[in-house]
Protein backbone atom coordinates (compact mmCIF):
# COMPACT_ATOMS: atom_id res chain seq x y z
CA UNK A 1 0.00 0.00 0.00
CA UNK A 2 2.80 2.35 0.96
CA UNK A 3 4.71 1.48 -2.22
CA UNK A 4 1.63 2.21 -4.33
CA UNK A 5 1.18 5.56 -2.66
CA UNK A 6 4.79 6.43 -3.22
CA UNK A 7 4.51 5.50 -6.90
CA UNK A 8 1.41 7.68 -7.22
CA UNK A 9 3.14 10.66 -5.62
CA UNK A 10 6.14 10.14 -7.88
CA UNK A 11 3.88 10.08 -10.95
CA UNK A 12 2.10 13.28 -9.86
CA UNK A 13 5.42 15.03 -9.32
CA UNK A 14 6.76 13.93 -12.71
CA UNK A 15 3.56 15.03 -14.47
CA UNK A 16 3.72 18.46 -12.87
CA UNK A 17 7.35 19.03 -13.86
CA UNK A 18 6.96 19.75 -17.56
CA UNK A 19 7.37 22.60 -19.97
CA UNK A 20 4.34 24.61 -21.03
CA UNK A 21 4.56 27.39 -23.58
CA UNK A 22 1.53 29.62 -23.32
CA UNK A 23 0.05 32.90 -24.52
CA UNK A 24 -1.87 35.24 -22.22
CA UNK A 25 -4.74 35.35 -24.73
CA UNK A 26 -6.62 32.59 -26.59
CA UNK A 27 -5.62 34.03 -29.99
CA UNK A 28 -3.64 36.89 -31.49
CA UNK A 29 -5.91 39.29 -33.38
CA UNK A 30 -4.74 41.09 -36.50
CA UNK A 31 -6.79 43.98 -37.89
CA UNK A 32 -5.29 45.28 -41.13
CA UNK A 33 -6.44 48.41 -42.90
CA UNK A 34 -8.29 47.95 -46.22
CA UNK A 35 -5.23 49.05 -48.18
CA UNK A 36 -2.79 46.73 -46.40
CA UNK A 37 -1.22 43.99 -48.50
CA UNK A 38 0.54 42.54 -45.47
CA UNK A 39 0.18 42.96 -41.71
CA UNK A 40 2.79 42.17 -39.06
CA UNK A 41 2.63 41.75 -35.30
CA UNK A 42 4.74 40.73 -32.33
CA UNK A 43 3.44 38.65 -29.44
CA UNK A 44 4.63 37.55 -26.02
CA UNK A 45 4.47 34.08 -24.51
CA UNK A 46 5.87 32.37 -21.44
CA UNK A 47 7.38 29.05 -20.49
CA UNK A 48 5.11 28.28 -17.52
CA UNK A 49 6.65 24.90 -16.85
CA UNK A 50 9.61 23.73 -14.78
CA UNK A 51 11.81 22.52 -17.61
CA UNK A 52 13.80 24.17 -20.38
CA UNK A 53 11.96 24.12 -23.72
CA UNK A 54 13.84 23.72 -26.97
CA UNK A 55 12.19 24.79 -30.22
CA UNK A 56 12.59 22.23 -32.98
CA UNK A 57 10.68 24.01 -35.72
CA UNK A 58 7.63 26.00 -36.79
CA UNK A 59 4.94 24.98 -39.28
CA UNK A 60 2.21 27.22 -40.65
CA UNK A 61 -1.22 25.90 -41.61
CA UNK A 62 -1.42 28.50 -44.40
CA UNK A 63 1.12 29.89 -46.86
CA UNK A 64 -0.36 33.32 -46.09
CA UNK A 65 0.97 33.20 -42.51
CA UNK A 66 4.58 32.99 -41.35
CA UNK A 67 6.08 33.30 -37.88
CA UNK A 68 9.40 33.26 -36.07
CA UNK A 69 10.47 33.15 -32.42
CA UNK A 70 13.32 35.20 -30.95
CA UNK A 71 15.20 32.19 -29.51
CA UNK A 72 15.56 28.45 -29.83
CA UNK A 73 15.46 27.73 -26.08
CA UNK A 74 13.43 29.07 -23.15
CA UNK A 75 14.14 28.67 -19.47
CA UNK A 76 11.39 27.99 -16.90
CA UNK A 77 9.43 31.21 -16.33
CA UNK A 78 11.13 32.97 -19.23
CA UNK A 79 9.12 35.28 -21.50
CA UNK A 80 9.68 34.92 -25.23
CA UNK A 81 8.79 37.09 -28.21
CA UNK A 82 7.34 35.97 -31.50
CA UNK A 83 6.89 37.77 -34.78
CA UNK A 84 4.17 36.97 -37.32
CA UNK A 85 3.45 38.20 -40.83
CA UNK A 86 0.16 37.72 -42.69
CA UNK A 87 -0.34 38.30 -46.43
CA UNK A 88 -3.79 39.84 -46.61
CA UNK A 89 -4.32 39.30 -50.36
CA UNK A 90 -8.08 39.06 -51.08
CA UNK A 91 -9.15 37.96 -47.58
CA UNK A 92 -12.29 39.66 -46.28
CA UNK A 93 -13.97 39.15 -42.92
CA UNK A 94 -12.73 36.97 -40.06
CA UNK A 95 -10.32 34.12 -40.74
CA UNK A 96 -8.74 31.79 -38.18
CA UNK A 97 -5.22 30.53 -38.88
CA UNK A 98 -2.53 28.96 -36.74
CA UNK A 99 1.15 28.16 -36.50
CA UNK A 100 2.39 24.97 -34.85
CA UNK A 101 5.57 25.20 -32.76
CA UNK A 102 7.39 21.88 -32.46
CA UNK A 103 9.22 21.40 -29.14
CA UNK A 104 11.38 18.73 -27.45
CA UNK A 105 8.84 18.30 -24.65
CA UNK A 106 6.94 14.98 -24.85
CA UNK A 107 4.10 16.53 -22.82
CA UNK A 108 3.74 19.38 -25.31
CA UNK A 109 5.43 18.32 -28.56
CA UNK A 110 3.21 20.65 -30.61
CA UNK A 111 2.15 24.07 -29.34
CA UNK A 112 -0.48 25.79 -31.48
CA UNK A 113 -0.40 29.59 -31.73
CA UNK A 114 -3.79 30.83 -32.97
CA UNK A 115 -4.36 33.97 -35.03
CA UNK A 116 -7.57 35.74 -36.03
CA UNK A 117 -7.38 37.96 -39.09
CA UNK A 118 -10.24 40.48 -39.28
CA UNK A 119 -10.24 42.26 -42.64
CA UNK A 120 -12.85 45.00 -43.09
CA UNK A 121 -15.09 44.64 -46.12
CA UNK A 122 -14.67 47.40 -48.70
CA UNK A 123 -16.84 46.05 -51.52
CA UNK A 124 -20.02 44.04 -51.00
CA UNK A 125 -22.00 42.51 -53.89
CA UNK A 126 -25.41 40.93 -53.17
CA UNK A 127 -26.30 38.56 -54.57
CA UNK A 128 -22.89 37.55 -55.86
CA UNK A 129 -24.46 35.25 -58.45
CA UNK A 130 -27.58 35.90 -60.54
CA UNK A 131 -29.19 32.61 -61.54
CA UNK A 132 -31.82 31.46 -64.03
CA UNK A 133 -33.08 27.93 -64.70
CA UNK A 134 -33.09 26.63 -68.26
CA UNK A 135 -36.50 27.41 -69.73
CA UNK A 136 -37.22 30.33 -67.39
CA UNK A 137 -38.49 33.58 -68.83
CA UNK A 138 -35.41 35.71 -69.61
CA UNK A 139 -36.46 38.29 -67.06
CA UNK A 140 -34.00 40.88 -65.72
CA UNK A 141 -32.35 40.30 -62.33
CA UNK A 142 -30.25 42.73 -60.32
CA UNK A 143 -27.43 42.82 -57.78
CA UNK A 144 -26.48 45.65 -55.44
CA UNK A 145 -22.86 46.77 -55.27
CA UNK A 146 -21.95 48.66 -52.09
CA UNK A 147 -18.68 50.43 -51.34
CA UNK A 148 -18.18 50.32 -47.57
CA UNK A 149 -14.70 51.79 -47.09
CA UNK A 150 -13.80 55.22 -45.80
CA UNK A 151 -13.42 56.59 -49.32
CA UNK A 152 -16.32 56.55 -51.84
CA UNK A 153 -15.80 54.71 -55.12
CA UNK A 154 -17.38 54.74 -58.56
CA UNK A 155 -17.99 52.06 -61.15
CA UNK A 156 -16.27 53.23 -64.33
CA UNK A 157 -16.90 50.20 -66.53
CA UNK A 158 -18.37 46.70 -66.74
CA UNK A 159 -17.37 43.96 -69.19
CA UNK A 160 -19.24 40.63 -69.47
CA UNK A 161 -17.34 37.42 -70.17
CA UNK A 162 -20.31 36.14 -72.23
CA UNK A 163 -22.10 37.98 -75.05
CA UNK A 164 -25.55 36.45 -74.52
CA UNK A 165 -26.58 38.88 -71.79
CA UNK A 166 -27.43 42.56 -71.67
CA UNK A 167 -26.72 44.70 -68.63
CA UNK A 168 -27.15 48.20 -67.27
CA UNK A 169 -26.02 49.91 -64.11
CA UNK A 170 -27.07 52.99 -62.25
CA UNK A 171 -25.84 54.87 -59.22
CA UNK A 172 -28.23 54.65 -56.26
CA UNK A 173 -26.15 56.55 -53.72
CA UNK A 174 -23.24 58.61 -54.92
CA UNK A 175 -19.96 56.79 -54.48
CA UNK A 176 -21.61 54.14 -52.29
CA UNK A 177 -24.30 52.08 -54.02
CA UNK A 178 -24.83 50.84 -57.57
CA UNK A 179 -27.54 48.60 -59.00
CA UNK A 180 -26.50 46.31 -61.85
CA UNK A 181 -29.30 44.71 -63.88
CA UNK A 182 -28.63 41.70 -66.09
CA UNK A 183 -30.98 40.27 -68.73
CA UNK A 184 -30.15 37.08 -70.65
CA UNK A 185 -30.99 36.97 -74.38
CA UNK A 186 -32.30 33.45 -73.83
CA UNK A 187 -32.36 30.76 -71.15
CA UNK A 188 -32.32 27.81 -73.54
CA UNK A 189 -28.64 26.95 -73.05
CA UNK A 190 -26.41 26.46 -70.04
CA UNK A 191 -24.32 29.56 -69.37
CA UNK A 192 -21.71 30.43 -66.78
CA UNK A 193 -20.28 33.91 -66.93
CA UNK A 194 -19.09 36.93 -65.00
CA UNK A 195 -19.28 40.70 -65.03
CA UNK A 196 -15.87 42.31 -64.70
CA UNK A 197 -16.55 45.44 -62.68
CA UNK A 198 -13.96 48.20 -62.90
CA UNK A 199 -13.85 50.89 -60.18
CA UNK A 200 -11.86 54.06 -59.64
CA UNK A 201 -10.54 52.89 -56.25
CA UNK A 202 -7.21 54.36 -55.20
CA UNK A 203 -6.35 50.89 -53.80
CA UNK A 204 -5.20 48.58 -56.60
CA UNK A 205 -6.81 45.37 -55.31
CA UNK A 206 -10.29 46.96 -55.27
CA UNK A 207 -10.18 48.27 -58.83
CA UNK A 208 -11.49 45.02 -60.27
CA UNK A 209 -14.44 43.08 -58.88
CA UNK A 210 -16.53 40.17 -60.14
CA UNK A 211 -20.24 39.39 -60.13
CA UNK A 212 -21.49 36.16 -61.68
CA UNK A 213 -24.47 34.95 -63.70
CA UNK A 214 -25.50 31.39 -64.48
CA UNK A 215 -28.17 29.57 -66.47
CA UNK A 216 -28.39 25.95 -65.36
CA UNK A 217 -30.71 22.98 -65.45
CA UNK A 218 -33.20 22.92 -62.62
CA UNK A 219 -32.64 20.01 -60.20
CA UNK A 220 -35.06 17.13 -60.58
CA UNK A 221 -37.73 17.08 -57.85
CA UNK A 222 -37.30 14.34 -55.26
CA UNK A 223 -39.76 11.46 -55.79
CA UNK A 224 -42.64 11.61 -53.30
CA UNK A 225 -42.05 8.06 -52.01
CA UNK A 226 -38.35 8.72 -51.44
CA UNK A 227 -39.11 12.04 -49.75
CA UNK A 228 -41.64 10.39 -47.44
CA UNK A 229 -39.24 7.59 -46.58
CA UNK A 230 -36.50 10.10 -45.83
CA UNK A 231 -38.68 12.09 -43.44
CA UNK A 232 -40.17 9.06 -41.65
CA UNK A 233 -36.99 7.02 -41.36
CA UNK A 234 -36.01 6.45 -37.70
CA UNK A 235 -33.11 8.57 -36.49
CA UNK A 236 -29.97 6.68 -35.43
What homologous superfamily does CATH list for 123-216? Immunoglobulins (2.60.40.10)
CB 85 within 8 A of CB 97: no
Range of lowest pLDDT (15-24, 35-44, 143-152, 163-172): 15-24
Give the rounded distance of the alpha carbon of 158 from its chain centre.
27
pLDDT value for 236:
54
Average pLDDT for the chain: 87
Q: What is the pLDDT of residues 44-89, one digit of tens each?
A: 999 999 999 999 999 999 999 999 999 999 999 999 999 999 998 8
How much of the chain, in percent, has pLDDT values that exceed 90? 72
Q: Which of 108, 22, 111, 103 is nearest to 57 (CA)?
A: 103
pLDDT for 121? 86
pLDDT at 211 over 50: yes
Rounding to the nearest 10 degrees, give the CA dihedral for residues 74, 76, 78, 84: 50
Residue 6 has a pLDDT of: 39
Residues 100-119: pLDDT tens digits?
Answer: 999 999 889 999 999 999 98
Whether pTM exceeds 0.85 = no
Asked whether residue 229 carries a pLDDT value surpassing 70, the answer given is no
Domain-by-domain residue ranges, the chain? 19-119, 123-216
* Region for residue 134 given its phi and psi (left: phi exceeds 0; alpha: psi -120 to 50; beta: otherwise): beta
With respect to CATH, is domain 19-119 assigned 2.60.40.10?
yes
Domains 19-119 and 123-216 share a fold: yes
Own/partner pairs, 160-164, CB within 8 angstroms, 24+ separation: 160/193, 160/194, 160/195, 160/196, 161/193, 161/194, 161/195, 161/196, 162/191, 162/192, 162/193, 162/213, 164/189, 164/191
Mean pLDDT, rounded, for 194-199: 97
**Angle made by CA atoms 189, 194, 197, in degrees to the nearest 5:** 150
Determine the Cα–Cα distance for residues 15 and 188; give it in Å rounded to an integer: 70
Per DSSP, the chain holds a count of helices (H) and strands (E) of: 2, 17
Sheet strands side by side (includes 65-69): 21-22, 38-47, 79-87, 65-69
Q: Say what the pLDDT of residue 86 is.
A: 93
In this predicted structure, what is the pLDDT of residue 227?
52
Amino acid sequence: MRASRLALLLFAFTASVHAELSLDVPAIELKPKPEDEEVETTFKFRNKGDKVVKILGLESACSCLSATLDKAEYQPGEVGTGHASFKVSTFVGKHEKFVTVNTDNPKQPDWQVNFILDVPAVVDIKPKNLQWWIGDAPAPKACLVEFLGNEPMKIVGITPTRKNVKFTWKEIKEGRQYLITVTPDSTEDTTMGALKIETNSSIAKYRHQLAFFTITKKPEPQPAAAATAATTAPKP
